[in-house]
Every structure is written in C-alpha cells, then in structure tokens.
Homo-oligomer: A and B are copies of this chain.
Amino acid sequence: MTTEPEVPAYRPPTLTDVAKLAGVSVATASKAINGRGEVRSSTRVRVLEAAELLSFAPNALARGLLSGRTGTVGLLTSDLEGRFSIPILMGAEDASGAGQVSVFLCDARGDAIREKHHVQALLSRRVDGLIVVGSRTDPRPPLAGTIPVPVVYVYAPSADPADISITVDNVGGGRLAIEHLLACGRRAIAHITGEAGFQAARDRAEGAAAALAAAGLPMVGDRPYFGSWDESWGRAAAHMVIEQHPEVDAIFCGSDQIARGVLETLRDFGRDVPRSISVIGFDNWEAIAADSRPRLTSIDMNLKHLGEVAGQRLFAAIDGAAPSSEEFPGRVVMRESTLPVG
C-alpha cells in the first residue's frame, strides 16, 4: 500500500530560506531585517533583497511565542447590532494605529456563558489585553475569573471601581441639552425619554432636572415622561404633552428616534418647529437626525473618541501604566430644530 503523493503544500518562506538565499546565518538575517545588532551594510542589503525576493513575512506566532507579546487584543462586544458598539469599535481599532496591533472581534450576544467561552479562547491566543464594550450604560459585572491581562471597559462601566472604565457623562449630556434650549430662549421644557430601567435614561433626566433647577424653572409635567426608546413612544408622549401642557415651548428627547416621533406629532398639531417649539434629540444618529424635517439638533456622545481612548488606555496598561477611569462629556450638534427664537 503506497501513501498518496500529497500535493506539496505551499509553505510560507521562513527566515531560514532568506538566510540561505543571502548566504548568511538565520541570526544575521534576523538582525538585518530588524535593524538590531552589528551587521555590515552590504550584508544587510543582501538579506533585505533576499527577503523581498521571497516576499518573506516574519511568522508572528513564532515571534509571539518567544517574546510573550503577541501584538493582539480582544474586543468583546455584547451586541454588534446595537449602534453603540460600532463607533467605539472603530475608535479602538484606530487606536491600535500603526498596524502593530491586530484586533480579535468577539460578540457575546449578552450571554455570560458565551462571554466566558470567548475570553477563554482569547486568553488561549495570548492576547495582550481586552476591551469590553457594553450596549447599555448600566454597570456590568466584571469578567469572571482572574484575567491575566489588562482589561478596559467601555460605554458600560465595570461594577468594580478598581477596573478601568471609559464612559459617557450622561448627566452632563442631559444638562447640555437643557442649557442649549435655555440659550435658545425657551422656558417651558418637557423631557420625553426611554425606559426608566436604563441608567442612561435616569442619568440624562437627572442632568436635565439639575439644569432646570439651576435656572429656577420647573420641568413641564413635573417629571420626565419615561417610556420606550422608539418613535411611536415619541409620538404618543408628545400627544400627551401638547394636550396637557399647551404652553410647552421645548422638548428634550432621550433619543433621536423619540425625537422623530415628537416632530411628527408636532407637525400633526400644526406646531411650528423651531418657531413655536424647539426639539432636541440624543445620540446624534446621522441616519435619523440629519435628514428629518426640520433637521434635528442632537447631543453627540463622541463614541468613536471613547473607543480611541479605550484603546490608548489599554496599551498604556499593557505597558504597565496604573489603571484609571474616565468619563467623557458630549457636545451639542446644532441643526434647524433648535434655531433660536426672535
């Protein structure tokens, strides 16, 4: 019985191949390529030419095995569908910048089992660090087990304050929105927002209340209208507000989708935005806010920047920096729905 003559599998060129072609030892080839050690320049070019010729690419596995650093990080997200993960993910990828670092993407679907599984796999691949992206701003339990590499939590902070968490200042965001409406000359402001079960909704409402209190103004309806994050709630709530409090001259919405619903109802009622009443949204979701009628002013939480910072913090921690958390403010992106009166 003869063994099948296997097709000679393609074998990527190794440093040995390069060295042989250049007529030097592997050690010399390594030094020539990495610019380390004493190598005569004529030898160096000979090696580099050989490497070029073979289109040699150093085996990162072997390198990582030896150095203990792989130049990879794990990015653990809990919902890829959600719109919050994506910009953060982009920022984090950007932070790894010069191409030294590659990113493993894992989606745990909010499932703790799956998460554990992914972490296991990532550690097995000897990632240098982990970034954990949440989909809500509510604090999340830290990764289970002891993780031998630095971890940075983004958007959703870790429940353990000793961990590194990079978050958004939702209280400040709520304050910003109200202050913008006040600056536009508004005085009778209502707040329609999402589920009270979300920390984000509560925080934004808190900031809004604080800003109104500071201005000595009541909130129209006395308290926020909590509901859901979608358009139909925006329509329904706006209906109630208009009927119960016709004097309202501005509405701060907890999401751009809610704001879209609000705009629609205001149009039904013949209320002119922004002349008779101002509307401001939250999230600055381009697809929703940038093309409505009128175009929607909104609070942008700079999620991409959040991701960049998370990446930077992770790399710093890998290099031994002390952990520290940070919270970032948002900014008002002004469009036509809050043109000042007068």
Which residues of B lie under 8 Å from residue A59 when comparing CB positions? 65, 124, 126
A5 smallest CB distance to B (angstroms): 15
Q: Is A198 an interface residue (CB 8 A)?
A: no
Which residues of B lie under 8 Å from residue A293 when comparing CB positions? 235, 264
Q: Is A118 an interface residue (CB 8 A)?
A: yes
A42 smallest CB distance to B (angstroms): 27
Q: Which of B62, B124, B230 contacts A57 (CB 8 A)?
A: B124
Known: A61-B126, A64-B61. A104 touches B103 (CB 8 A): yes
A230 to B59, CA, bound (A): 46
A341 to B300, CA, bound (A): 43
CB–CB B287/A12 < 8 A:
no
Interface size on A (CB < 8 Å)? Answer: 55
Tell me the A86-107 residues at the B interface (CB within 8 Å).
86-87, 89-90, 93, 99, 102-107
Which residues of B lie under 8 Å from residue A55 when comparing CB positions? 145-146
A-side residues, CB < 8 A to B, are 9-10, 12, 55, 57-62, 64-65, 68, 70, 72, 75, 80-81, 86-87, 89-90, 93, 99, 102-107, 117-118, 120-126, 145-146, 148, 230-232, 235, 257, 261, 264, 285, 287-288, 291-293
Name the CB-closest residue of B to A290.
B230
A152 smallest CB distance to B (angstroms): 17
Q: Which of B60, B87, B106 contacts A126 (CB 8 A)?
A: B60
Q: Which of B9, B104, B230, B285 contacts A105 (CB 8 A)?
A: B104
Given contacts A59-B65, A103-B104, 7 further A-B contacts (CB under 8 A): A9-B68, A57-B123, A61-B61, A72-B104, A93-B106, A99-B121, A287-B288
Name the CB-closest residue of B to A291.
B231
Name the CB-closest residue of B to A145.
B55
Which residues of B lie under 8 Å from residue A80 when comparing CB positions? 86, 89-90, 93
Known: A124-B58, A287-B257. A99 touches B81 (CB 8 A): no
Selected A-B contacts with CB under 8 Å, 28 pairs: A10-B148, A12-B123, A12-B148, A55-B146, A57-B120, A59-B65, A59-B124, A60-B125, A61-B61, A61-B125, A65-B65, A72-B125, A81-B90, A89-B105, A93-B105, A93-B107, A99-B117, A99-B118, A102-B121, A102-B122, A102-B125, A103-B104, A104-B105, A231-B292, A232-B291, A261-B291, A287-B288, A288-B288
A70 to B62, CA, bound (A): 12
Which residues of B lie under 8 Å from residue A126 when comparing CB positions? 12, 59-61
Which residues of B lie under 8 Å from residue A9 when comparing CB positions? 68
A88 smallest CB distance to B (angstroms): 11
A103 smallest CB distance to B (angstroms): 5
A153 to B41, CA, bound (A): 42
